[in-house]
Amino acid sequence: MSVRTRFAPSPTGYLHIGGARTALFSWLYARQHGGKFILRIEDTDAERSTDESTQAILDGMEWLGLDHDEGPFFQSERGDIYRAEIEKLQNSGHLYRCYCTTEELTARREEARIKGLPPKYDGRCKSRTDTLDMANAPYALRFRVPEGSVIFKDMIKGSIKIQNSEIEDMILLRSDSTPTYNFCVVVDDATMSISHVIRGDDHISNTAKQILLYNALGFELPVFAHLPMILGADKARLSKRHGATSVIAYKAEGFLPHALVNYLARLGWSHGDQEIFSTDELIKLFSFDNVGKAAGVFNPEKLLWLNAHYIKESPNSELTTLLLPFLQELGVDGAEANARLEAIVSTLKERAKDLKEMAESALFYFKESVEYEEKARNKFLKEEKLPIFIYLRDKLGALANFNTTEIEVVFNALMEEMDLKLGKVAQPVRVALTGGTVSPGIFETLEAMGKEMAISRLNAAITYIENPHGRDDMMY
């Protein structure tokens, strides 16, 4: 069998985490089997579908690296195909006209609910004899659900059986002549030769309906795989209250695309105890045999851990490109940043959990002056530290090669001459350079900062200490 999978989102919102995982599993399965991955936009809901949402889905897929081989196809452009299949069903006697209005159907469902009955269509139009009197009345076309049951084997859930009595005679064509979701999906998957339908397990009831339509239309059934849903830490269905749930939101928060891909792959699937996977490994190792039947629980802390891992492992040049937009959002001039950003990134990547945090941590490199944290300045910018600052200003300023090796030589000479440990030197200097007590390694920070800025900040610290009465008016 030639493997052809698909991802078929509705453009009524952004690409959310659940949809992204479905797309990923479909993409992995196709790539593993040398098949095709098709992207289809199910935009039959004209009122809720938007171009903005479509673009957000496409952008999210591209950012995750989930490239499609065919498409995107739009259901709104496939009307002729649907009409032809509706005609086949009419001619074969599978459809009947339903003249019930929306208001009547709503009232009957509410009545059934009050009586504790299933709120399904009661089939009253199936045997109507007054159709000639209704010649000019609007009508929908309903599918005659046969007696019996639907049985299918799911790649994750195993054998599933649903009684046809639980399925109402579904509308396939609305009174305004627009086709409905279940009908369009069957026609699309069949005419696009989709071999494996991979989607969330909230679609199991739809699968039973769709199998009836496959059989009525004479189409070959695909293989089905229904993924368990994703829950929040409180075991409720994942929603906005659990944090950012759209792919684009995670991009905006500074997550790397493969960190999210890696996390989503492990959300319901496993390969032993392995946690870190390259794309090639995921393609090679992925199997529905190892997809759990229980719902996955979304763990933001684990995703953050993975993101920190990939930041550490990413080349500095790649991180530079990714980090620049976050710095520009904070007001940093792009041209200025780009000129020395790769060296700055190398000092920050070991500690950063996301790009947004990294950008904020990098700001001291781009400010004309720093604002000292009160506790840090009171502890470290004192008169007794003046000799340290003056020595470093003079010796570092004289360096021809301002790199970590030469900078460390200067620090070692100072420590020997003044009989000090590195901590007694590094912390005051760190406050002078950054305004606080937390920064990357002091040698790396100095090199990334550059001689001119480093000397300027040492001078500012000296001036601060030497002018205790004019500090309120001074900028550092």
Positions marked active-site = 240
Q: Please report, as a single letter, which amino acid is at residue 303.
A: L
Angle at 66 between CA 64 and CA 71, to 5 degrees: 135
Closest residue by Cα to residue 252 from 346, 359, 348, 158: 359
Task: Enumerate the H helices of 331-450 as residue ranges.
Answer: 334-348, 355-362, 374-380, 386-397, 404-418, 422-434, 442-449
Query: 291 has which bridge partners?
Result: 269
Alpha carbons 149 and 159: distance in angstroms, whole number: 13
Query: 296 has which bridge partners?
Result: 230
Q: Give yes or no for a contact between 5 and 26, defined as CB atoms under 8 angstroms apart.
A: yes
Strands 95-98 and 140-143: antiparallel
Cis peptide before 9 (omega within 30 of 0): no
Q: How many CA atoms lie within 13 A of 430 on its CB side?
A: 18
Instruction: List, as own/partner pairs, every contact residues 54-57 make where C-beta atoms lie below 8 angstroms and the sequence separation is at least 24, other chains included.
Output: 54/11, 56/13, 56/14, 56/15, 56/246, 56/248, 57/9, 57/11, 57/14, 57/15
Angle between helices 442-449 and 451-466 (to 10 degrees): 110
Alpha carbons 236 and 446: distance in angstroms, whole number: 49
Question: Tokens 């005659």 belong to which residue?
Answer: 144
Question: Tokens 């720093």 belong to which residue?
Answer: 370
Distant-in-sequence, close-in-space partners of 419: CB < 8 Å, separation ≥ 6: none
Q: How many of the other CB atoms lie within 10 Å of CB of 256?
A: 24
- Residue 425, SS3 per DSSP: helix
Alpha carbons 176 and 432: distance in angstroms, whole number: 72
Give Dmax over CA atoms of the chain in angstroms. 108
Alpha carbons 99 and 288: distance in angstroms, whole number: 44
